[in-house]
Structure 1
Amino acid sequence: MRLPPHVIVSRAIVTDGNSSAASIPLAVEKMLSSGRVRSGDLALFLGFGGGITWAAQVVRLP
């Protein structure tokens, strides 16, 4: 995707697999606890669901 070096991408799918509705919160918790992101940073959440549905939202991390 040629993202700039300052853009951090979660790789939680590698260890957590598809955990349905918990995928995004699990990824956020891992990134916050590892120090890869900080409280107050902006994040883009992008999720895909059953029936080829998807949603995206930009949020400020807690």
Structure 2
Amino acid sequence: MAKRLKLPARTVIARDVVRSGNTSSASVPLALSALLESGEAKSGDLALLLGYGAGLTFAGQVVVLP
């Protein structure tokens, strides 16, 4: 997705699925929390949040991190 959107190389991508597995609807907030706790993302940064679920449902939004 990052390549397709032509995001810059400095873009942080959550890769916590390796640690936490597929947690369904909790995946987005868990990944965001991990990035904030690790310092990879900080308050005021822009974040593109994408999630998908059963039945090929999906959603996305751009937010300013708290």
Fold shared by both chains (TM-score > 0.5): yes
| Partner in structure 2 of residue 44 of structure 1 | 48
Segments of 4+ in structure 1 off by > 6 A? none
* Unmatched runs of 5 consecutive residues or more in structure 2: none
Aligned amino acid, residue 30 of structure 2: L
Q: TM-score, normalised by structure 2?
A: 0.86
- The residue identity in structure 2 corresponding to 1:18 is N
Report the Cα offset of residue 21 of structure 1. 1.3
Gaps of 5+ in 1: none
> Per-residue deviation at 1:3?
4.0
More strand by share: 1
Two-structure CA RMSD over aligned residues (Å) = 1.1
Residue 22 of structure 2 corresponds to 18
Instruction: Write the distance in 2 (CA, Å) between the matches of 1:4 and 1:44.
Output: 13
Q: Percent identical across equivalent pairs?
A: 52
Distance across 2 between alignment mates of 1:34 and 1:46: 20
